[in-house]
Structure 1
Amino acid sequence: MKPRVMTKTQKRTRYIAVTAMLSAIATVLMYIEIVVPFMPSFIKLDLSDLPSLIGSFAMGPVYGVVIAAVKNLLHLFFTSSGGVGELSNFLLNAAFVLPAGLIYRFRKSKKGAIAGALTGAVVMAALSVPINYFIVYPFYTAFMPMDAIIKMYQVINPAIQDGDLLQCLVTFNMPFTFLKAILSVVVTFLIYKPLSPLIHGTNRG
């Protein structure tokens, strides 16, 4: 049998439902954090960017950004960061999925998806430095002196200079953010093909 063709209204309704589902999954994933060796203890790994990347590829970059926004709005109810952590997460998540989705939108092929995902990963990693430097870490200094924060980096890498937050971010946070994005990319490529018909409602039956 041929795949069922949906009307524009049905497609929009389905995308809204899928966006809600992916946003809920992303919110749950934010709470599943993994301590990463050779990183300061306050930096943890999660895969909450994964659903928005899937959404960006499947439905378009706008949906990916919406999923990132909804995820962080829901997380606000349980945050202890005063919204700063959520703002940072949203900006980085959007920086990841927006270029990924835009490139894939105009190059709908495996190569296009890879190019988009890698571009998004690079943009996300690069922006992690100014976002952490100007937004996140100034907020954290209300609870912990900057010298104490930098000392946590120096325990791992004694070559870090006293008072040099920028060196900490470039040495640790930027490559960590890139690898975190790449992990989401790998998982997305592993599960996207079987998920795509479910998202688009094109199961053959």
Structure 2
Amino acid sequence: MNELIQNVAENAMYVLSFLVIIAAVFVVAVLLEKAARKKNGVTEPILTTRKMAMIGMFSAIAMILHLFDFPLPFAPNFYKLDFSELPILIGTFAFGPAAGVTMEFIKILLKLFVKGTSTAFVGDLANFVIGCSFILPASVIYAFRKNKTSAIVSCIIGMAVLTVFGTAFNAIYLLPAFSKLYGMPLDSLLSMGSAVNPRVKPGSIVSFVVACVAPLNLIKGVSVSLVTLLVYKPLSPIIKTGHRA
């Protein structure tokens, strides 16, 4: 806890920008959810007591899954795959985009309290933003029309956004940020990719993210989407009411 407070103090401006981004994403999610509710004639409040309890539970499960990340053979060890978006996507389908963004934030917050940050919050911000790039478009599409076809389409679009945005975000922001954070030339980070993946051309950030980052995001998106599509319908009545249909 003391280490986390020290990290926050040392990186106050970055933490502040982190919170501004979170607030902006949350506002967008609320506005889109309100539009979907208006279209569908939903009058129930966005937040209810049961919904808040379920958000807390799904966030805790997501944080646990986030801790059990693991590397893949085609990417350097500092890129790891986790399935923390699985409970969040299921919970977001049940409770809406605003709940999804909230769960992403709580997941990161819990992880920081449990494990702290080893990247001066750079990796934590990246995890939140990239997670939202998957959760938000998928949940918004599903919120406007809740049926099986819409669920499939929303997952496909969510996967596409995750893969494209996550890949571009790494090239434009994350890799340069890690280079600055660790005081390493960017070429040194890229060479770690070419050492494990022959498709990464030396010194080419584009080939690095295409060969290492895009497949990782695609694997995550496909896996989470398939499991969600399989389990959401039978779980939905239990999640929403606590009773089987």
**Residues 1:150 and 2:190 aligned together:** yes
- Segment of structure 1 superposing worse, 120-129 or 195-204: 195-204
The question of whether the paired residues in 2 share the 8 Å contact of 1:92 and 1:128 is answered with yes
Question: Among 156, 160, 164, which residue is 1:126 paired with?
Answer: 164
The question of whether the paired residues in 2 share the 8 Å contact of 1:84 and 1:135 is answered with no
Q: CA deviation at 1:158?
A: 3.3
Percent identity, aligned pairs only?
39
Which amino acid in the other structure matches residue 154 of structure 2? G
Give the corresponding residue for 2:76. Answer: 40
1:35 & 1:159 partners in 2: Cα distance? 18
The structure richer in helix per residue is 2
**What residue ranges of structure 1 are gaps of 5+ in the alignment?**
1-6
Give the corresponding residue for 1:4. Answer: none
Q: CA deviation at 1:198?
A: 1.8
Q: Secondary structure at the residue paired with 1:38?
A: coil
Q: String of CA shifts for 1:30-61, please: whole Å, max 9, x gaps.
A: 11112322222222111011121111111111
Change (3 A) 1:37 1:13: same
Q: CA deviation at 1:74?
A: 2.1
Q: Secondary structure at the residue paired with 2:74?
A: coil
Q: String of CA shifts for 1:170-203, please: whole Å, max 9, x gaps.
A: 2220122022111111121232233212211152
1:153 & 1:177 partners in 2: Cα distance? 16
Q: CA deviation at 1:101?
A: 0.9
Matches within 5 A, 1:59-74: 59-74=95-110
Give the corresponding residue for 1:14. Answer: 50
Q: Once superposed, what is the RMSD of the aligned Cα atoms?
A: 2.0
The question of whether the paired residues in 2 share the 8 Å contact of 1:97 and 1:120 is answered with yes
2:79 & 2:147 partners in 1: Cα distance? 35
Q: CA deviation at 1:8?
A: 4.7
1:17 & 1:175 partners in 2: Cα distance? 34
Q: Which has the higher contact order (CA 8 A, sep 6+)?
A: 1
The question of whether the paired residues in 1 share the 8 Å contact of 2:97 and 2:139 is answered with yes
2:60 & 2:158 partners in 1: Cα distance? 22
**Residues 1:174 and 2:214 aligned together:** yes
**Residues 1:117 and 2:155 aligned together:** yes
**What residue ranges of structure 2 are gaps of 5+ in the alignment?**
1-42
Q: CA deviation at 1:137?
A: 1.4
2:66 & 2:97 partners in 1: Cα distance? 21
**Residues 1:88 and 2:123 aligned together:** no
Change (3 A) 1:204 1:120: closer
Give the corresponding residue for 1:75. Answer: 111
2:244 & 2:221 partners in 1: Cα distance? 33
Matches within 5 A, 1:178-197: 178-197=218-237
Q: Normalising by structure 2, report the TM-score.
A: 0.74
The question of whether the paired residues in 1 share the 8 Å contact of 2:197 and 2:211 is answered with no
